[in-house]
Amino acid sequence: MLLEGKTALVIGGGQTPGETVGNGRAVAMDFAREGARVAVADRNLASAQETADLISAEGNVAQAFELDVQHEASIQAVVAAVVSAWGGVDILHNNVGVSLAGGDAVVEDVEAATFDRLVHVNLRGMVLACKHVLPHMRAAGSGCIINISSMAAWKPYPLVGYKTTKAAVIALTEQLAAQNARYGIRANVILPGLMHTPMAIEARIAPDKSREQVVAERDQQVPLGRRMGSAWDVAHAATFLASDKAGYITGVALPVDGGLSVV
């Protein structure tokens, strides 16, 4: 097993309700299948608990925590609880990100308060999670941080909050990698493309647009197989990056996008 004996903290490990599995939940489940103990943290405790229950049902180890990335004290408390229970954090996976559901808009329409909230949720939360986990990783002389950005950072995307915060997550990751390599800590960022997750689908269904139309429009844009990826594609990339097989890889921005970035 790739992550035997490791402790992972997955922030945003619940999921938006819907017909498919979300990225954060799939990552938490895959880490656990590879032998990690997983702390599943989410603003929605019930959803984090559902993920933890799915992991336990597979005979693996997880604990759910309530955590809102907008509140530093909440991040600090969960990190302290995980360190106290399991002795440290080997893997920090920052999954939280919102776009349409956060009220995002094009630049000429965006409200200042909405933009501030998107920065807090999508970017500042990752900065603060790293701030509180890094001292423990440095003390251990090892660790791995995985941040979730989006192909929206590289390709045209209309909504300003998501576009700019996801681009900043790449810069954050490069800085984390550069400044923590000397402590044996790696940091990498995944750029999912068009994924078939509730977060991406549910908010786009409208009276004049059915689920089938939303799915079909997204599927046909993807070069590889003309279909969206699934949360498991993101999870498998994250598990690889978290594992010792990626032990010489840091500062990388990895698209998981079925070739979207090269067309």
Ligand X SMILES: NC(=O)c1ccc[n+]([C@@H]2O[C@H](COP(=O)([O-])OP(=O)(O)OC[C@H]3O[C@@H](n4cnc5c(N)ncnc54)[C@H](O)[C@@H]3O)[C@@H](O)[C@H]2O)c1
Return the amino acid letter for 47.
S
CA neighbor of 231 nearest in space, from 14, 7, 9 = 14
> Which range, of 1-9, 31-39, 65-73, 130-138, touches ligand X by CB under 6 A?
65-73
In the chain, the DSSP E strands lie at 7-11, 37-42, 62-66, 91-94, 143-148, 185-192, 253-256
- Let me know: does 71 contact 38? Beta carbons within 8 Å: no
Q: Which of residues 151-190 bind ligand X (CB under 6 A)?
A: none
- Let me know: does 252 contact 240? Beta carbons within 8 Å: no
Residue 121 within binding range of ligand X, rule CB under 6 A: yes
- Let me know: does 151 contact 253? Beta carbons within 8 Å: no
CB of 108 to ligand X, least distance (A): 23
CB of 59 to ligand X, least distance (A): 23
Quick check: is 183 catalytic?
no
Residue 39 within binding range of ligand X, rule CB under 6 A: no
- Residue from 30, 34, 68, 90 in contact with ligand X (CB under 6 A): 68
The SS3 assignment for 188 reads strand
> Which range, of 29-37, 92-100, 128-136, 175-183, touches ligand X by CB under 6 A?
92-100
- Residue from 28, 67, 123, 185 in contact with ligand X (CB under 6 A): 67
Q: Taking the alpha carbons of 116, 122, 123, 128 in that order, is the dihedral positive or negative?
A: positive
What is d(CA 249, CA 39) in angstroms, rounded to the nearest whole number? 24
**How many residues of this chain interact with ligand X, rule: CB under 6 A?**
30
Residue 16 within binding range of ligand X, rule CB under 6 A: yes
> Which range, of 11-19, 79-87, 127-135, 206-214, touches ligand X by CB under 6 A?
11-19
Residues that bind ligand X (CB under 6 A): 12, 14-16, 22-24, 42-44, 47, 67-70, 95-98, 121, 148, 150, 192, 194-195, 197-200, 231
| Catalytic residue IDs | 162
